Amino acid sequence: MKDHYQKHVKALLAVDCIIFGFTQDNLKILLIKRDFEPEKGKWSLMGGFLRPDETLDEAASRILQKLTGLHDIYLDQLRSFSHPDRDPVDRTVSTAYYALINVEEHNKELTKKHSAEWFNIQDIPALIFDHNEMISQAIKRLRYKASTEPIGFELLPEKFTMRQLQKLYEAILGQELDKRNFIKKILSLDVLIKLDEKDMTSSKKGSFLYKFDAEKYDRFKI
């Protein structure tokens, strides 16, 4: 009987995206300056509302694309946040997603249009609602992920040096790693292809570039 349903409240369904990027040896998150009430002018995660004909995954994907121009991006559902008062305007349950993007590839005009900026994860400002909590959980999740499977394919440019990869891991894990042990470990995973090319920007000697072997990388996906 429909009654069983109708006595229950409905709520707005939102999606918020924690967009991770990696530049200048730092793990960063893309935040926007809100251009609408409530909390207009404050920093927040990029978000939006669920549409009648889409899943939450699709909504997250759409919202990510709206801000970055990117599609087919790594996106993972973090969890749903549901405190009755989290949004002062109306009861809204928000499902947080985290995305890993290659900073070089995103559409900078789009992010500029949304007044978006990259923040080091150590320097996240006070955000609206429960967005700081969302970020904190996303970082935790990313750390966990990095310790159990290879990561970086999504965050690094196509070709990268060992040093870049190590710096990425150090930024995610929040700790320094031994260079020799790191290389030994990452090579043992057998997901990298060493190229004949060198990156000459970082040293006189130059350092070899690597790329990920997509098939071998995917074996690790849980």
Binding residues for DNA, rule: CB under 7 A, are 161-163, 178-181, 183-185, 188, 198, 202-208
Query: Which residues pair with residue 26 across a beta bridge?
Result: 23
Query: Which residues pair with residue 43 across a beta bridge?
Result: 33
Question: Taking CB within 5 to 8 Å according to partner kind, which of DNA, a second copy, none is near residue 23?
Answer: none
Residue type, 123: D
Kindly identify the residues of this chain, within the stretch 155-214, that bind a second copy according to CB under 8 A.
none
Rounded Cα distance, 31 and 28, in Å: 10
Q: Which two tokens stand for residue 76?
A: 């993972």
Query: How many other CB atoms are there within 10 angstroms of residue 24's CB atom?
Result: 9
Nearer to DNA, 57 or 149 (CB): 149
Q: How far is the CB of 48 from a second copy (least distance, A)?
A: 9
Nearer to DNA, 77 or 148 (CB): 148
User: Judged by CB under 8 A, which of 25, 33, 41, 79 binds a second copy?
Assistant: 79
Q: How far is the CB of 13 from DNA (least distance, A)?
A: 40
DSSP three-state, residue 132: helix
Q: Does 221 bind a second copy (CB under 8 A)?
A: no
Nearer to DNA, 61 or 166 (CB): 166
Rounded Cα distance, 22 and 208, in Å: 20
Residue type, 34: R
Termini Cα distance of the chain: 40
Q: Which of the 8 DSSP states describes residue 4?
A: H
Q: How far is the CB of 162 from DNA (least distance, A)?
A: 5
Q: How far is the CB of 20 from DNA (least distance, A)?
A: 23
Q: 92: part of which helix (H) or strand (E)?
A: strand 92-100
Q: Which two tokens stand for residue 111?
A: 């992010």
Q: How far is the CB of 213 from DNA (least distance, A)?
A: 18
User: Judged by CB under 8 A, which of 24, 71, 90, 204 binds a second copy?
Assistant: 90
Rounded Cα distance, 85 and 34, in Å: 19
Kindly identify the residues of this chain, within the stretch 25-64, that bind a second copy according to CB under 8 A.
36-37, 49-57
Point out which residues bind a second copy (CB under 8 A).
Answer: 1-2, 4-5, 8-13, 36-37, 49-57, 77, 79-80, 82-84, 89-93, 95, 140, 144, 148, 222
